[in-house]
Amino acid sequence: MAYRQLVKPRLAESLATMGLDVIYHRAKGDHVYLRDQSGEEVEVLDMVGGNGSLLFGHNHPRVIADLREALADGMVVHAQLSIRREAGLLAETLVKVARRDSGIDEGFVVHFANSGAEAIECALKHAEVTRMSKLLAAWDALRPELEELQRAARAGEVSMPEGQLEHASIASKFGRVRSLEELVGRVLAHNQAQLTRRPIFVGLEHAFHGRLVASVQLTYAARPPYRNLGLNVRFLPLNSLDALEALKAELSREESLDLYGLKVEDGAVRLYKRSLSAVAGVLVEPIQGEAGVLEVSSEFGAALRRFCDEQGCPLILDEIQSGMGRTGRFFAASCIGLKGDYYVLGKSLGGGVAKITAVMFRASLYQHDFALHHSSTFSEDDLSCRAARTALEILEENSGATYRHIEATGRRLRAALERVHASYPDLTKEVRGRGLFLALEFFPPLGSGSPLLRTLAQFKLFGYLLSGYLLKAHQIRIAPTGSATNLLRFHPSINLDDRAIESIEVALRRLCDILRHEDIFHLIFPLTNSTRPVPRTEVRDFRPARGDSSKDGPPGASPGLMDSRLTLEGFRKAEPSLADLTDGEVGAFLSRLMEIGRRVGSLQHRQV
């Protein structure tokens, strides 16, 4: 297949190991469709939801109809260097909704982009332009006076008492100087050097903001290969007020950005200081999606707001995954009363069809020259803006009925997940999230009697095994996140109904029953792509007898299942529940497993 060979070969092989290498040929609402080995169409409930981009479901009929009509009418899609009507209408709606939901009593200026990472880059660039404009303004205010003093000192029109040249406040900062002219020169050089200092951005541990050169520096887990490329970032643990206070102290002590001026008063030269913050911005997801659906607390959010006000920098709220109504509010930050300075939207903004994102800047903070040097060929295209406008109409119509529907549906789905958690507290750790943005976290089976489960947990593949099982055995498409591989994240659309919620609960209960009894046959057989009937359906108990240590190892220890020297016989002995599989079925799975283990292990080694 061309994708396996020409696009992402290793990803395709990894997907095959966990039974996720399928082709979906059509989609509608909360469902995607594939063909089984006999060619029959199979309906799959989609809880991946385009990683959050399908709040309105696949191919929403109104979005599709509007785009068809626009294209049939000959819409001008690309008309750079012109007034973009659709972009203006979309921005008008976004500003109206944002002001209402956030409670911010001022307008916004909106920039559009093509992807979430691009939008984050736009926000970071604007924050740095703002910081530099403040720094340059301060420098421009000081420089004329310093340059005039330098001229006067050279001309002998003004001098400095010798004792004052050795004053502690001067010597400690600029060293020993022999003349006023030399002192002014050192002050000018110091101030000029401040203009080249790298800005500091503050982010949260385990955040995800994209994978472009700047945004990847704030994407916590993806940084290792790109450490030398970019930004100076300080990361805070989520909801840690102590860490925030420690950062404040560090910035004050070590990162103060000070410009100095000199004044001649009453025959004496006075040194004075103008301090600015080196922090260009604070970037926060109100709900950290890739980290495992972790929420910023209202207390921590308020502390971040105060920190930004003190530093004079923008609070940038990344609402790409959590915004557009997914939590039941337009902005997830509004759920905790958090007000940002920039808001970044994406994913579902495109109505599930278009690739469009937006950065909304508070009007009072917007740098109007920014638009003259930030642009993109494909941003503001009329077709994407039309799709986004239709999506907003669906969200806003009937006095916000869709928001209320999202909250109600989310409560029912969460209740189902909570019931599963209550029934299997030994396997599941927690249910998290709001609205239609939820997660069920499992304990990593590092102490399991199954060597396979222990190994998959060690290599951070456990969640993908669960995903493959749910897809093949229950026709439910769901996945873990890149940073939280022991959980399943739910991104349903507004089309989710009670029948689908019931099917999710039934499937999760069956999965937990299998895990509790360590009968991994049921997890592996669907991944073999065997055409024969399922050899058995009942769940048997393969847990080691109490006191039997024949299969045990220390938690997290690798039993060698990824070792290329492992034989088929050795694998069968380690996992007796696979007795009902043929040698061909076991061998095919084992070879794929060892290959993916080798690659994951190599990647982890390179990132250390």
Give the 3-state secondary structure of residue 26: strand
Pick from 94-98, 523-527, 574-578 the range whose average pLDDT is largest. 94-98
598 or 4, which is more confident? 4
Helix, strand, coil share of the chain (percent; to 5):
50, 15, 35
How far apart are the C-alpha atoms of 15 and 379, rounded to whole Å? 32
The C-alpha torsion from 600 through 601 and 604 to 608, rounded to 10°, is: -170
Structural domains of the chain in order of their starting residue, each with its CATH number: 2-46+443-607 (no CATH), 85-140+199-257+277-389 (3.40.640.10)
Confidence band of 256 (pLDDT split at 50, 70, 90): confident
How far apart are the C-alpha atoms of 440 and 431, rounded to whole Å? 5
583 or 13, which is more confident? 583
| pLDDT tens digits, one per residue of 125-162 | 999 999 999 999 999 999 999 999 999 889 888 877 66
Whether 606 has a pLDDT exceeding 50, the answer reads no
User: How distant is the alpha carbon of residue 557 from its chain centre?
Assistant: 31
Residue 383 DSSP one-character state? H
Give the 3-state secondary structure of residue 318: strand
| CB atoms closer than 10 angstroms to residue 504 | 25
How far apart are the C-alpha atoms of 482 and 504, rounded to whole Å? 22
- One-letter amino acid of 29: G
- What average pLDDT score do residues 167-179 get? 75
How far apart are the C-alpha atoms of 188 and 180, rounded to whole Å? 12
Q: Which residues contact 513 (CB under 8 A, 6 or more apart)?
A: 539
Whether 53 has a pLDDT exceeding 60, the answer reads yes
Angle subtended at Cα 82 by Cα 76 and Cα 85, rounded to the nearest 5 degrees:
60
How far apart are the C-alpha atoms of 234 and 526, rounded to whole Å? 45
Give pTM, 2 decimals.
0.91
Length of the chain: 608
User: How distant is the alpha carbon of residue 451 from its chain centre?
Assistant: 32
Beta bridge partners of 109: 361
Contact 98, 392 (CB under 8 A): no
How far apart are the C-alpha atoms of 588 and 151, rounded to whole Å? 82
Give 391: exposed, middle or buried? Use CB within 10 Å, 0-12, 13-18, 19+.
buried
362 phi, psi to nearest 5 deg: -55, 135
DSSP string, 187-239: HHHHHHHHTTSPPEEEEETT----SSTTGGGGSGGG-GGGTTTS-EEEEE-TT
How far apart are the C-alpha atoms of 368 and 133, rounded to whole Å? 12
- One-letter amino acid of 545: A
Report the phi/psi class of residue 325: left, alpha or beta, with left for phi > 0 and alpha for psi in -120 to 50: left
Q: Which two tokens stand for residue 274?
A: 């103008």
| pLDDT tens digits, one per residue of 410-427 | 999 999 999 999 999 999
Residue 54's nearest CA partner among 516, 573, 494, 595 is 494
| pLDDT tens digits, one per residue of 461-482 | 899 999 999 999 999 999 999 8
Confidence band of 173 (pLDDT split at 50, 70, 90): confident
| pLDDT tens digits, one per residue of 518-558 | 999 999 998 888 888 899 999 999 998 644 544 444 443 44
Report the phi/psi class of residue 449: left, alpha or beta, with left for phi > 0 and alpha for psi in -120 to 50: alpha
Using the Cα atoms of residue 287, residue 339, residue 55 and residue 10 in order, give the sign of their dihedral. negative
373 or 140, which is more confident? 140
Range name among 179-193, 541-555, 576-590 with the lowest pLDDT average: 541-555
- What average pLDDT score do residues 205-221 get? 74
Confidence band of 218 (pLDDT split at 50, 70, 90): low
Q: Which two tokens stand for residue 409?
A: 């549906």
How far apart are the C-alpha atoms of 180 and 432, rounded to whole Å? 64
- What average pLDDT score do residues 96-103 get? 98
